[in-house]
Amino acid sequence: MHEIILNSHMHTRYSDGSGSHNDIAKAAIRAGLDAVIVTDHNVWVNELAGYYQEGDRKVLILVGEEIHDQTRVPQKNHLLVFGAGRELATYAYDPQLLIDAVNRAGGLAFIAHPANPAVPFQGEADISWVDWNVQGFTGLELWDFFSDFRDHLKTKLHGIYYAYFPHRIVRGPLPEAIRRWDGLLATGKKVVAIGGSDAHAYQMHLGPLRRTVFPYEFHFRAINNHVLLPSAPGMNAVTDTSMIMEAFRQGHCFIGYDLPAPTRGFSFTAHGLQRTVLMGDEIESKGGVTLTIRLPIRTECILLKDGKPLRVWHNHDLCTYITTEPGVYRVEAYIHYLGRRRGWIFSNPVYVR
Ligand SMILES: [Zn+2]
Ligand SMILES: [Zn+2]
């Protein structure tokens, strides 16, 4: 498989971000990304999708959309739509109709920031997802930068501190998001987890000082999706986009927090009697299944079954486990960085049936 690094969920001047698609492409090339998915609020700006090149480096800009009902108070239920090939914001008033429309259009629907806490001192409401009865979505944004950030924002001083020390923010997916994901997986559904930046490159004014808080490039070195493709993408934006969308649909991806150490090279595979599968895939338990985890560096690795830790390895880079038990198996890896234990890798599950 060919691993690409893709950053998802960002805003440009077409909604509430401060940069252009071109700024994003430049930042992505500097950060060494292969692709990004721009998701402006309730507007699909498709004419700016495609490969952007600088020197001998290139990046694929995909354009999706973040859709929510702007008349709802508070404005909860944000849905990330990828690969639908058309504007769908007209369905924003009903999350289920919207998801159905995404599926009819052949796109992918991810619940954005499922747990997104309020910031009382700024008067910002909790904008978590609340309509949990919806069916047919592809997955959820398990780990997004801004939910993690908002969770630390107790006072304005915290906001200023973290604006200057963004490397200290990210800790891991919020426990409520993980609980939601495990709960959905327990119903027998396949639910793909992705990571997101929710990047805006906000302009902050502090007296005479003007500063871009969390520039795009900072995000592009932080919470990324590592997507496993059947072949290396070339220069054809259309075929590469559909290959990436298909890998997301299958859950052939993991979330890596690349700032403390690059997560490239992580793998989680399952070997059964007949075949070997990737994260995101199903495999028969009959005859036993060997789960193999490879980490790019030695660190703490947890194998979970049905949301509960099954085995913990400390300071390992190759971990194996043999099972005959059906269940949803996934991996979390943690790393020590800037004085605390932080989430590093969250895999998609292998579904042992
Ligand atoms: Zn949102
Ligand atoms: Zn957003």
pLDDT tens sequence across 45-54: 999 999 999 9
Of the listed ligands, the closest to the CA of 74 is: 1
Residue 212 pLDDT: 86
Residue 121 pLDDT: 85
Given a cut of 70, the residues of the chain with pLDDT beneath it are 206-207
Residue 159 pLDDT: 84
Of the listed ligands, the closest to the CA of 68 is: 1
pTM beyond cutoff 0.85: yes
Contact assessment for residue 273 and residue 332, using Cβ atoms and an 8 Å cutoff: no
**Distance from residue 198's CA to the centre of ligand 2 (Å):** 4
**Distance from residue 94's CA to the centre of ligand 1 (Å):** 16
Residue 256 pLDDT: 98
Residue 103 pLDDT: 98
The Cβ of residue 232 has, within 10 Å, a number of other Cβ atoms equal to 11
- Which tens digit of pLDDT belongs to each residue from 162-172? 888 888 888 99
Residue 279 pLDDT: 98
Of the listed ligands, the closest to the CA of 145 is: 2
Of the listed ligands, the closest to the CA of 196 is: 2
Residue 157 pLDDT: 86
Which positions ≥6 away from 285 have C-beta within 8 Å?
A: 272, 323, 324, 325, 326, 352, 353
Of the listed ligands, the closest to the CA of 12 is: 2
Residue 298 pLDDT: 97
**Distance from residue 188's CA to the centre of ligand 2 (Å):** 29
